[in-house]
Structure 1
């Protein structure tokens, strides 16, 4: 199936070359698209050097806008599957086959790479840990389906879900909201266990203060 790997990146010049290279060497026939989200470093040049197709956004629109740009590209270029991978090296491309197989077998419409479905040794920071547990319980209650890793950005979707995300995608902190959004529209969601790395470079945008804002904003979004 025609597969596109979407890598949103903002100031990821230290990691993007290796991420693209690892995807291209993962043993699967996939195309790689880097969405350079208004970076002010050499992210775009490094991605091109690694062999990725690059879309340079003129300003920083945030993770939601960057990822949706990738889904619009996937829709217009007639891809069957789209996979989202972070540009900071956290997501290991060796799990790509495991992630997309349920889509190929028509057992799911969206597959989430989960750090917590099995014991992997991954230990998030204190504030992240609180948010992860909170949203897992909230989303599981709303969707009536256990979801263990609601904040994972390592996920794959089929054509049906590509069309859905091309029409609407949350502007920021989209991972949790999109699960509820998809569930309410009959999208079949599953998780597969994966091991993730800690951030290989760059700086996280989620500070302790933003963690509180994040929890309030996303809770209101999914409840309303």
Structure 2
């Protein structure tokens, strides 16, 4: 009786499959990583099916109307590869999120102690390389508004200039991110500090001097009078001297209309960063966005039942430095943020 010769490819596939399966088992045994074990099993099954049951791909090819077996194998291999790519992207995003949360936690822990209290307005100012303008912004803030104490809080978001040093003025609280987290990340740090200090009202404004301080009282007054929980400024009912071009202006109007359709809101300026929020409502908002935070804040406020009100304001041109808004990907970033926040 003559024995059949061993197929070299089948032997190689079997050995490789055993090695991959052992790797996945070891990963699970050490770290209990279910995804690594599942990935090893998927690859092992794929290799063994190609080596020992190639007829399965003929069946799949007949269903997909593909005549050649190798095309079916390539198709399935690419689908598995695509799955691994998405897995790795998710893993990278998870690690990045963990690093960002650690960074913000360290910054919050290092924040200087303030008196705080429900009669305090925390003015959170995210700043990235705003050394030219940040001093004029914090010095222009009043000490009190409508009987509320004003507490400036500058979050220097990975600045490599003298932003943090220039912000140290007249009781301003200054915290620093060792690496840049984006405006949304800086705002989350500021919100956490404000929550820990039981702030009655939290205001956000830019560190480039575009938001006039003399309109601050009108911004917080609807919350003080219990007419709203979330007040946002709008350049389109006020004055826009920011120098936005027609393309950017049209984009803001389009995304504003999109949010209005999706949430039945009635707003006119979805990207405006000059806003006031009732402090006790902050912990209702699920905030994850690090770059395009404005639409996320607005949609979360709408979903959480906050009373939203707009007031006309003036947006002035930058007092110095360069804009940090991305030149490319701005529209895609806003659209992604709007859809993800609306769906979750």
Do the two structures share a fold, i.e. TM-score over 0.5? yes
Q: Does 1:130 align with 2:250?
A: yes
RMSD: 1.9
Sort the Cα spacing of 1:157 and 1:106 in 2 relative to 1 into closer, same or farther, 3 A. same
Q: Does 1:75 align with 2:195?
A: yes
Aligned length: 222
Deviation at 1:51, TM superposition (A): 4.2
Tell me how far apart the structure 1 counterparts of residues 325 and 212 of structure 2 sit (CA, whole Å).
21
Deviation at 1:74, TM superposition (A): 0.6
Q: Does 1:16 align with 2:111?
A: no
Q: Does 1:47 align with 2:164?
A: no
Deviation at 1:218, TM superposition (A): 2.6
Deviation string for 1:90-111 (max 9, x for gaps)? 1011111100011011111100
Tell me how far apart the structure 1 counterparts of residues 196 and 337 of structure 2 sit (CA, whole Å).
29
1:175 counterpart SS class:
helix
Superposed, which structure 2 residues align to 1:51-130 within 5 Å? 51-118=171-238, 120-122=239-241, 124-130=244-250
1:186 counterpart SS class:
coil
Tell me how far apart the structure 2 counterparts of residues 111 and 208 of structure 1 sit (CA, whole Å).
28
- Contact 1:142–1:180 (CA under 8 A) maintained in structure 2: no
- Contact 1:131–1:211 (CA under 8 A) maintained in structure 2: no
Sort the Cα spacing of 1:13 and 1:153 in 2 relative to 1 into closer, same or farther, 3 A. same
Runs of 4+ that moved beyond 4 A: 25-28
Moved more, 93-102 or 176-185: 176-185
Q: Does 1:7 align with 2:125?
A: yes
Q: Structure 1 length as normaliser, TM-score?
A: 0.91
Q: Does 1:221 align with 2:344?
A: no
Deviation at 1:5, TM superposition (A): 0.6
Tell me how far apart the structure 2 counterparts of residues 188 and 17 of structure 1 sit (CA, whole Å).
33
Superposed, which structure 2 residues align to 1:167-186 within 5 Å? 168-186=287-305
Tell me how far apart the structure 2 counterparts of residues 116 and 143 of structure 1 sit (CA, whole Å).
20
Unaligned runs of 5+ in 2: 1-118
Deviation string for 1:94-145 (max 9, x for gaps)? 1111000110111111000111124x25352223212211111111112212
Identify the match of residue 196 of structure 1 among 303, 315, 321: 315
2:310 counterpart SS class:
strand
- Contact 1:26–1:93 (CA under 8 A) maintained in structure 2: no
Tell me how far apart the structure 1 counterparts of residues 230 and 141 of structure 2 sit (CA, whole Å).
20
Q: Structure 2 length as normaliser, TM-score?
A: 0.61
Tell me how far apart the structure 2 counterparts of residues 71 and 25 of structure 1 sit (CA, whole Å).
20
Unaligned runs of 5+ in 1: none
Tell me how far apart the structure 1 counterparts of residues 230 and 331 of structure 2 sit (CA, whole Å).
28
